[in-house]
Amino acid sequence: MYPEDRYYTKSHEWIKVEGNHATVGVTYYAQEQLVEVVFVELPEPGMEVKAGDGIAVLESVKAVSDIYAPVSGTILEVNKKLEDQPELINKDPYGEGWIFSLEIIQKEEIDKLIRATEYQSHIKNEPK
Amino acid sequence: MRYIPTTDQDRKEMLKSLGLQSVEELFDDVPDRVRLQGELNLPSAQTEYELFKSLKSLAEKNNNLEQYPSFLGAGAYGHLIPSAVQHILSRSEFYTAYTPYQPEISQGVLQAIYEYQSLICSLTGMDVANASLYDGATALAEAAVLAGEATKRKKIFLPMTIHPEYRMVTQLYLENRGMEVIQIPHDKGQTDLNYLKDNINEEIAGVLIQQPNFFGILEEVKEVASLTQKFGALLVVSVNPISLGILEAPGHYGADIAVGEGQGLGNPVAFGGPFLGFFATRDRFIRQIPGRIVGATKDIEGKRGFVLTLQTREQHIRRQRASSNICSNQALNALAATVFLCLVGKKGLQEVANLCLQKAHYAYRKITSIKGYSPLFTQPFFHEFPIQTPDSPEVINKVLLEKGIIGGLDLKRHYPELGPSMLLCVTEARTKKEIDTLVQALENYHE
């Protein structure tokens, strides 16, 4: 449920890094907590973001959550499919439910992110 | 709320558990100089009957609109209200209800809001309406904010013919969101279209317009709409809902957002409110609407039911990132509007609007034929019109009040450059006799 090939944030985003390019989505745990995602507000391609900025919004029936940029960079692409099929986040959070990709500016920011095992122990301690 | 009295014994026990000797000690942190010294300035206890009499005599010091025919409008309008409105409003299921978060126990309130939304949509020609806002001014400001968010642009056109208080509220909202307000001057009481033509460009997020405008005059909304659309800006129209009985709905001439003050729909004029802001727009902006929306659905057994469908942009869920930080709506006032609209119906609303128009024009013809009183502007108007007066309206209004008449709004307060002039309003609630009395009083004014 928590692929080893990516990094995680404590705010429940995953990030898959390939060179200077990174894809971002939310974790299995995040989509499970949200229950049914009904709307996704995507960032604009070309937008410059800093690590920790709230740049996308996931809306479920009873809650709204901000999605934060795990690292600083420029938004390259957004998953337009989510506009009509927000449920992809629930169905396939690590694949078809990706949210945006970005070009990483400061590679060293990645070192501050956590790996799958650490993330799993983090969510165990989350208040329910 | 239940009233739970405390006895001396209760107080003693509470103080004891806090380790205090007296109530005074509880307030020790408040400096002496700002504390009330001595007793409250209140008479001693009275019997129920004595109290009723003294409160009644206090209340009678106010002049009320039942005794005094009023020609004062400017955003708060005295219309006739069928007595069934008050009756339904007084049902405790409605007036004690707060926010209907629990759909299973709030079906009546939710249905009433759903009907209200539907009525506002048909009235404005829009796809979707929220469950109401505080008042017409904040509704306009919220609409300007939406225009900025939706277009990602930062400039708003705000004509000088919009209600001055609405302009102040809008300006305050926008300035603090880093948006720029550009005022459009007026030309003989109408928004200056040439100014609009010369200055509109792709940086403008929205054009706001009021129909009829603050002077009661009809704006060239179709032309404003086509100019606005040409540059990809949103058109926000603030409408008087009663006028929609005879004027075209904003949705039909290209408005993107229709807002307004709903007080005139079944809510009496009462000091400073409560008022009722309505907000309607196109489907595509549904996720950016401030406040909440009630939707109709079916339960597991297929029975029709109502729920708060869209409320996730609200303050109680989104906190500081909510679309709007006005969390409460005006459910009881919206209910009054709903009952009012259902009772008068389509034809009734048309009649109310037509009577307003006819009576206002009758008054206008009579008043402007008196020596010293002339039209300030000559553009078509609905039920309000400004006239130049031979003296300061302040003085004239005093004389009118002595004769039991509430006069118009002194325009000096907001438009000092217009000279001595007042804005008069005539609704269907004014009789011909009352209008004739006003005309007579203005005629005899100098005697």
- CATH code of the domain covering residue B312: 3.40.640.10
> Of B446, B411, B407, whose CA–CA distance to B430 is shortest?
B407
Give the burial string for A28-64 (b: 16+ CB within 10 Å, else e): bbbbebbeebbbbbbbeeeeebebeeebbbbbbeeeb
Q: Does any CB of chain B come closer than 8 Å to the CB of residue A64?
A: yes
Cβ <8 Å between A66 and B321: yes
- The residues near B316 (Cβ < 8 Å, ≥ 6 apart) are B327
Final residue before a domain boundary, out of B340, B365, B399: B340
Give how far A57 is from chain B: nearest CA, Å.
11
> What pLDDT, on the 0 to 100 scale, is given for residue A99?
97
Alpha carbon distance A7, A37 (integer Å):
23
Cβ <8 Å between A39 and B287: yes
Alpha carbon distance B405, B176 (integer Å):
42
Final residue before a domain boundary, out of B290, B314, B340: B340
Is B441 contained in some domain? yes
Q: Judge if B258 and B390 occupy the same domain.
A: no
Task: Tell me B124's DSSP state.
Answer: H
Domain range enclosing A38: 6-123
> What pLDDT, on the 0 to 100 scale, is given for residue B319?
67
| Residue of chain A with shortest Cα separation from B318 | A64
**In chain B, how many domains are there?**
2
Q: Judge if B420 and B391 occupy the same domain.
A: yes
Q: What is the predicted ipTM? A: 0.70
Is B64 contained in some domain? no
B312 touches A63 (CB < 8 A): yes
Q: Judge if B328 and B363 occupy the same domain.
A: no
Mean pLDDT, range A22-42, rounded to an integer: 93
| Residue B189 clears pLDDT 90, i.e. is over it | yes
Cβ <8 Å between A64 and B313: yes
Q: Judge if B329 and B350 occupy the same domain.
A: no
Report which of residues B158 and B3 the model is more confident about: B158
Is B220 contained in some domain? yes
Mean pLDDT, range A45-49, rounded to an integer: 94
The count of residues in chain B is: 447
Q: Does any CB of chain A come closer than 8 Å to the CB of residue B319?
A: no
Alpha carbon distance B384, B263 (integer Å):
16
CA angle in degrees (0–180, nearest 5) for B277-B278-B279: 125
> Of B250, B243, B165, B271, whose CA–CA distance to B425 is shortest?
B243
B428 touches B94 (CB < 8 A): no
Q: Does any CB of chain A come closer than 8 Å to the CB of residue B312?
A: yes
**C-beta atoms surrounding B387 within 10 Å:** 24
Q: Judge if B110 and B202 occupy the same domain.
A: yes
Q: Does any CB of chain B come closer than 8 Å to the CB of residue A45?
A: no
Q: Which residue in this structure is represented by tokens 């401030």? A: B290
> What pLDDT, on the 0 to 100 scale, is given for residue B65?
87
Size of the A and B interface in Cβ pairs below 8 Å:
16
Pair of tokens at residue B114: 């759903």
Cβ <8 Å between B317 and A64: yes
Cβ <8 Å between A62 and B312: yes
Sorting pLDDT into bands at 50, 70 and 90, what band is B63? Answer: confident
Give how far B322 is from chain A: nearest CA, Å.
10
Q: Does any CB of chain B come closer than 8 Å to the CB of residue A126?
A: no
Mean pLDDT, range B375-382, rounded to an integer: 97
Is B265 contained in some domain? yes
Amino acid at B176: N
Instruction: Note the pTM of the prediction, 2 decimals.
Output: 0.85
Among A21-25, B124-128, B311-315, B335-339, the least confident range: B311-315
Contact residues, chain B, for A41 at CB < 8 Å: 287
Alpha carbon distance B262, B132 (integer Å):
9
Domain range enclosing B194: 83-340
Mean pLDDT, range B368-388, rounded to an integer: 97
Contact residues, chain B, for A62 at CB < 8 Å: 312, 317
Q: Judge if B429 and B416 occupy the same domain.
A: yes
Q: Does any CB of chain A come closer than 8 Å to the CB of residue B318?
A: yes
- CATH code of the domain covering residue A115: 2.40.50.100
Mean pLDDT, range A49-60, rounded to an integer: 92
Q: Judge if B333 and B352 occupy the same domain.
A: no
Pair of tokens at residue A64: 């709204």
Is B26 contained in some domain? no
Q: Judge if B336 and B361 occupy the same domain.
A: no
SS3 per residue for B95-119: HCCCCCCCHHHCHHHHHHHHHHHHH
